[in-house]
A and B are shown apart, each in its own frame.
Chain A
């Protein structure tokens, strides 16, 4: 299977196999008007299988979302057909309106305009908790 190289755009590489669609949804890539390629289950020497997303434009991506979904992914910025920049990814300390609290007793269920904010409370186990009710995501 062959996907063309991009000239100016972004490659999100080393995504754990199966996570590409989740990233696609959370990053709202469906709202872009450029070409977006999702490549799943690519053979990888390091990972066995991996996913890749190629975006044919240099758009502003929310790195905290990528860090939350897959902190081991890499983000390469391509300009004039060459690798111009590698952006670092890390597990974000805080997520705002990325994930939503499901606790029916949480204040976010009745205060519609309240931002849904989660804080990283256990880095080792990648556990986020709602700042209002402390429910685990």
Chain B
């Protein structure tokens, strides 16, 4: 029985296998329609989420399985003071696999330590969000055709953005990638990510506050939202929320083969005018997320198709 808490728990070979499964699901969806028949996914979401929860639920439905859902802490036993460990043990009696989102960092790990079924981390505070990274990886793969030799720009909230940390960790394992870290001073990538991932592995990176001057060199631009829920102080949020807004005018200087990703939801950091640009991939990324979650559920449930 295996869980997925951090993207680095998957080897490069396993990521290749998941991508191959996702590509096969895209090509032959009918093969998978009953692959998880009689299996149940419990989605335990203790923090607001629309797309991740719906993506997991759609993934399980498309595999022919069923879904049990808790959509907020207020409507669960957590409101009565139940521990994560007890919740995990209880849900293990009802379901075959758990997808958990929780505002506290490490909560899905605690669930995995106590559950008797696989647990997928669907986001724990500002810490990890491995299935978003799987969606990002499938999008990069399908749009660029490779994971090597890419110049990847990450823009916005690089401090609290869990998807940014996970994507850097995942892409740093492939050769020849360079990172351009674009953020205001207050939202720079944490030093431990720079030190433990980039510097330790001798990976080239630059830090800048200027999106426009960084754009022409990029193969991939990963935009992020400044997340209000990560701030203890509203003043800081209001001051930083409009730091970077990608517009069609700014994109005129960008590479024709640039691919623009965003984990969504967006607020205003990508203007709606960019959506029609063929370089915009963020809605494809949403769809890719569902396929990768389907592939992951199959893998963790050890279902062969």
Give the shortest distance, in Å, between B167 (CB) and chain A (any CB): 16
For B113-126 the 0/1 string (1 means CB < 8 A from A) is 00000000000111
- Does the CB pair B83–A108 fall under 8 Å? no
Majority secondary structure of chain A interface residues (helix, strand, loop or mixed): loop
Q: Let me know if B280 is at the binding interface, CB within 8 A.
A: no
Q: Interface extent on A, as a size class?
A: 10 to 19
- Does the CB pair B83–A132 fall under 8 Å? no
Q: Let me know if A105 is at the binding interface, CB within 8 A.
A: yes
- Among B27-35, B103-111, B212-220, B261-269, the one that faces the other chain is B103-111
- The listed residue (B83, B84, B104, B196) touching A106 by CB distance below 8 A is B104
Q: Which residue of B lies closest to A108 (CB)?
A: B106
Chain B interface residue count, Cβ-Cβ cutoff 8 angstroms: 17
Choose among A108, A122, A134 the residue with the greatest number of B CB atoms under 10 Å from its CB.
A134
For B67-83 the 0/1 string (1 means CB < 8 A from A) is 00000000000000001
Contacts A132-B110, A136-B192 given; does A107 touch B84 at CB 8 Å: yes
In the complex, which residues 105-136 of chain A have their Cβ closer than 8 Å to any Cβ of chain B? 105-111, 113-114, 121-122, 130-134, 136
The 9 closest A-B pairs by CB, nearest first: A132-B106, A133-B105, A107-B106, A107-B104, A107-B107, A105-B125, A133-B106, A105-B105, A106-B105
Query: Given A130-B106, A134-B105, 8 more contacts at CB 8 Å?
Result: A105-B105, A106-B105, A107-B102, A107-B105, A132-B106, A132-B110, A133-B125, A136-B192
